[in-house]
Amino acid sequence: MASVRNKVNPLLFNIPYVLTWRRFGFRTICSGRLGFAPFTSPSIADADTPVAGTKVLETFTEEFEIGSRKITLETGKIARFANGSVVLAMEETKVLSTVASSKGDAVRDFLPLTVDYQEKQFAQGVIPTTYMRREGAPKERELLCGRLIDRPIRPLFPSGFYHEVQVMASVLSSDGKQDPDIMAANASSAALMLSDIPWGGPIGVVRIGRISGQFVVNPSMDELSISDLNLVYACTRDKTLMIDVQAREISEKDLEAALRFAHPEAVKYLDPQIRLAAKAGKQKKEYKVSMVSEKTFEKIQNLAKEPVEAVFTDPTYGKFERGEALENITQDVKRVLEEEGDDEGLKILPKTVDTVRKQVVRRRIISEGLRVDGRRLDEVRPLYCEAGNLPVLHGSALFSRGDTQVLCTVTLGAPGEAQHLDSLVGPSSKRFMLHYSFPPFCTNEVGKKTGLNRREVGHGTLAEKALLAVLPPEDDFPYAVRINSEVMASDGSTSMATVCGGSMGLMDSGIPIREHVAGLSIGLVSEVDPSTGEIKEYRILTDILGLEDHLGDMDFKIAGTRNGVTAIQLDIKPAGIPLDIICECLDPALKGRRQILEHMEREIRAPRIQDDRYSPRLVTLKYSNDALRRLIGPLGALKRKIEEETGARISVSDGTLTIVAKNQSVMEKVLERIDFIIGREIEIGGVYKGKVVSIKEYGAFVEFNGGQQGLLHISELSPDPVSRVSDVVSLGQQLSLMCIEQDGRGNIKLSLKATLPTPKSMAVTVDEPVAPTSQEVNVWAAIEDVSNEQEKQGATAEPETNDLTMKLATPAVLIRSVAECDEEEKSDGLNSKGDNGSQSASKSDKKTRISSSLSKSGFSSGNAKKSKRDKDDATSETPMSANKLKLGMRVTAKVHQIRALGLVLDLGGGIRGMYRFEPDMKRDFDVGDELRVECSSFSTKGIPVLTLVKEE
């Protein structure tokens, strides 16, 4: 035998046997480690040596096609111990869904169904970026997908089945093309069909999009991004179970067409699940069902029915008064049962009394058409709207409908403050966030606030989808927006009240939304034939109360504008509702929505113009990446320091710097800091702030504009002679200086006296043409750069979103002395009507105007006479040029551009000027309109600043 072994593989048997010991870790490759083991052929192995066999996994699959996509259901390969386990695949995306149930007989009066959905990063070949490199708490998307699975499967469990059930869905792999949420819902339905848990399925869940007017079944993520409809529809073979819609103002007619198109497509999921369950499903187990005996139910009904009817027929009861009266009835019945020693009745008392309440309310609505609070079936509760109730905030609104009250606040932020998303599919961030909060005090209860709540996340996302349709595009409105919805009081439909309050808050914040969005809930009360299970009679309720939601069959939330629907969420309690009834609810929802929109529009109809003290400011600047690196500093320290000191938010991307400040004063501080760190392109005539770093006999060196240095010569310190530099400036002093010269070697000459008020006897000359700035700032004030004091006070930096950078190609402007001006007038024939007396008077007036040219209104009474003559004199047919334009000259200009804060005027001869709107003035100008204007001053860049001439 030994010789035979050596012939088989002599090399392996020359290795010392100690290397094959398991305690040294030298094992076979099959065990997961690279090592050595003696070779043993099955034909020559000892008879008592165990030989591993091959495990055969019996798998069952079903393949079918929906739309243009192939879908596969598979069971038996993985998660074999679960009560039911299915892997659903669509192209390269696979989702596993498992179901399990408890076997105990715990005493409870509700179905403890838990649905968990998880997207682990391994599904897309990524390691989590968290500190522990593990997935953390469930994200918002995972909670929403869990609710999407829960809502259609919950109504199909049999009445009285109170065993704990857990459904767990997880994404095994994702190609990023398909959203795994509806795949998980269908896989969960198939897993329940395979299990032994009693359940009235299967169900089919399908997504419908609409591209260019054509419906698309199960659209990919790329197709969904250009679709104006995102409809998720779940149903059994003949009834609707759930609807979830996000749309861009789709009409009720088109929505009904989409629903009727979705139903037969969703039904295609049913037969493959039935065939799979027939091949691999378990026999349904007899679980203990909690049922109420007929005798006990009749006893409790006889005791409680009349007092309950008395409460529900009195519309004067409020929510809490009604609840207290019903609780007293329950306590009275409890005392009677305790006296009789009826232990069975005491155990089921709360559930049975609730059933009696349900019967009383539903019978009154169906037979008499009367609701609990005395309203008609199609009547909306009284409304109260208030916008701007918190003026310090960017936007706020208070909305009340009946006893339901919601406070919504709006906060604007920088683009970098958008929420980052870590989902397997979809965008990586979102700039619009709506956070819904349901504190315990809104129902007069004591509770504990915890982390993310499934209900709060679901309600907030529904309102977010409803408002998203009317927000301006990101290119036009780059802010990040957060709405906080705080429920102040709850008596039904708080999510739809959030939609209404959020819409008013957006307008109050000045966001240019197209129009208001409103929403309300539609309810249903039906009577079912016990023999067939079909609905014999039903009533549709508009704007349901919380009690009607609890005791009714449906909560159909519909939100939209006057033009169409933007969001829908349908939840039901019975095992399905016919689609015809669902479509019938769309019309009363539209009528109720219009009533609410009318009240909202009475309070606020259009976006407000914000107060400069509280309204935020956004500026976008273009810089080189090297300059942005200097601004950020090591590890972002310098950027954080600026944010901490000013309270602004700074976002940096490739070549773009975005700043969001709380108000204009904060914005000015930030821009000043950034200009000092990064600097701007040096312009002749530009004014910069700098610090004196050294003093010499011949002048001072000043550091400015992001670390550049310039020479402030002694001759440029003051209009008066200066003997010593230190008499005027000191080391470390902050100065505002004008650049007067820059040679080819980069040497910069600065002037202090050029920024000082000009004496009457001196002329101020700007010799160099104005170079266009390299920074494109999305604010009107930045292109003006007006140096006079009044202009600075009136400058605001309201955000502009379309073509906000105005480039004025202006020639050099020369401001001459009074004598030169008079000579120019004579030579050009512009003063032909003036006599000597008027000319001498005008000379004095011109001196006054030149010395006060940086004041918006700096005209004396003598100027009025001269201006009257100039009104006629300026109509010369001589083409306008830079040398002819003087302070006080009146000309006829044409409107070239209309900006948010003023006009760009064409003066002729290639000269452009600017005119700023005055407060409360009419702004109905059109491009091409002719205006009579007067040159009141020049900006530091040589741009004429004009004022309108009032007709006498």
- Structural domain contains residue 264: yes
State whether residue 742 is helix, strand or coil. strand
The CATH number of whichever domain residue 77 belongs to comes to 3.30.230.70
Same domain, 274 and 303: no
Q: What is the mean pLDDT of residues 478-499?
A: 93
Q: Which of 661-665, 728-732, 899-903 has the lowest mean pLDDT?
A: 899-903
Mean pLDDT of the chain: 79
Same domain, 642 and 566: no
Q: Which of 583, 487, 577, 523 is nearest to 375 (CA)?
A: 523
Name the residue with higher pLDDT: 652 or 202: 202
End residue of a domain, out of 705, 730, 755 = 755
Which of the given ranges, 49-63, 178-192, 628-642, 795-809, has the highest pLDDT on average?
178-192
288 pLDDT higher than 90: no
Which of the given ranges, 5-19, 66-80, 410-424, has the highest pLDDT on average?
66-80
184 pLDDT higher than 70: yes
C-alpha to C-alpha distance for 252 and 845, rounded to whole angstroms = 70
- Structural domain contains residue 628: yes
Same domain, 252 and 268: yes
- Structural domain contains residue 114: yes
End residue of a domain, out of 603, 633, 655 = 603
Same domain, 544 and 654: no
Cα–Cα separations (whole angstroms), residue 779 to 186, 659, 675, 801, 902:
52, 12, 16, 9, 12
- Structural domain contains residue 813: no
Q: Can you give the pLDDT at residue 795?
A: 38
Q: What is the mean pLDDT of residues 370-376?
A: 88
What count of other Cβ atoms lies within 10 Å of the Cβ of residue 69?
Answer: 14
Same domain, 637 and 593: no
pLDDT band at 105 (very low <50, low <70, confident <90, very high): low
Q: Can you give the pLDDT at residue 110?
A: 84
What is the pairing mode between strands 699-704 and 687-695?
antiparallel
Identify the domain containing residue 937 by its residue range. Answer: 889-948
Q: Can you give the pLDDT at residue 681?
A: 66
- Structural domain contains residue 875: no
Same domain, 198 and 270: yes
Same domain, 476 and 425: yes
55 pLDDT higher than 80: no
End residue of a domain, out of 755, 771, 799 = 755
Same domain, 343 and 403: no
The dihedral over CA atoms of 243, 244, 250, 252, expressed in degrees to the nearest 10, equals 20
Which of the given ranges, 469-478, 558-567, 845-854, has the highest pLDDT on average?
558-567
What percent of the chain lies above the pLDDT cut of 90? 38
C-alpha to C-alpha distance for 679 and 706, rounded to whole angstroms = 4
Name the residue with higher pLDDT: 253 or 875: 253
Six token digits for residue 705: 């504009």
The CATH number of whichever domain residue 639 belongs to comes to 3.30.1370.10
Contact 272, 64 (CB under 8 A): yes
> If you ran DSSP here, which 8-state letter would residue 577 be given?
B
Q: What is the mean pLDDT of residues 183-204?
A: 95
Which of the given ranges, 334-343, 523-532, 588-597, has the highest pLDDT on average?
588-597
State whether residue 480 is helix, strand or coil. strand
pTM > 0.85: yes or no: no
Same domain, 393 and 500: yes
C-alpha to C-alpha distance for 276 and 602, rounded to whole angstroms = 58
Same domain, 598 and 535: yes
pLDDT band at 3 (very low <50, low <70, confident <90, very high): very low
Q: What is the mean pLDDT of residues 602-618?
A: 79
Q: What is the mean pLDDT of residues 365-393?
A: 91
C-alpha to C-alpha distance for 542 and 378, rounded to whole angstroms = 5
Q: Can you give the pLDDT at residue 611?
A: 62
C-alpha to C-alpha distance for 363 and 526, rounded to whole angstroms = 9
C-alpha to C-alpha distance for 535 and 550, rounded to whole angstroms = 19
What is the pairing mode between strands 708-713 and 748-751?
parallel
pLDDT band at 541 (very low <50, low <70, confident <90, very high): very high
Q: Which of 85-94, 309-318, 492-501 has the lowest mean pLDDT?
A: 309-318
Return phi, psi of residue 507, to 5°. Answer: -70, -40
863-866 LR contacts (CB < 8 Å, sep 24+) = 863/888, 865/838, 865/841, 866/838, 866/841, 866/842
pLDDT band at 444 (very low <50, low <70, confident <90, very high): confident
Same domain, 186 and 276: yes
The CATH number of whichever domain residue 714 belongs to comes to 2.40.50.140
Same domain, 433 and 560: yes
C-alpha to C-alpha distance for 485 and 460, rounded to whole angstroms = 8
Q: Which of 222-226, 279-283, 321-325, 786-790 has the lowest mean pLDDT?
A: 786-790
129 pLDDT higher than 80: yes
Per-residue pLDDT of 733-785, as tens digits, reads 888 889 888 876 768 899 998 888 755 444 433 333 333 333 333 333 333 33
Q: Can you give the pLDDT at residue 821?
A: 40
Per-residue pLDDT of 872-922, as tens digits, reads 444 434 456 555 677 778 888 888 887 767 888 888 877 888 888 877 666
Name the residue with higher pLDDT: 917 or 199: 199
pLDDT band at 564 (very low <50, low <70, confident <90, very high): very high
- Structural domain contains residue 782: no
- Structural domain contains residue 83: yes
Q: Can you give the pLDDT at residue 1?
A: 41
Q: Can you give the pLDDT at residue 86?
A: 97
- Structural domain contains residue 344: yes
Q: How many domains does the chain have?
A: 6
Helix then strand then coil, in percent of the chain rounded to 5, is 35, 25, 40
Q: Can you give the pLDDT at residue 785?
A: 37
Neighbour order of strands in the sheet with 395-401:
383-387, 395-401, 404-413, 480-489, 432-437
Q: Can you give the pLDDT at residue 318?
A: 83
Q: What is the mean pLDDT of residues 400-418?
A: 91
The dihedral over CA atoms of 301, 305, 311, 314, expressed in degrees to the nearest 10, equals 150
Name the residue with higher pLDDT: 774 or 449: 449
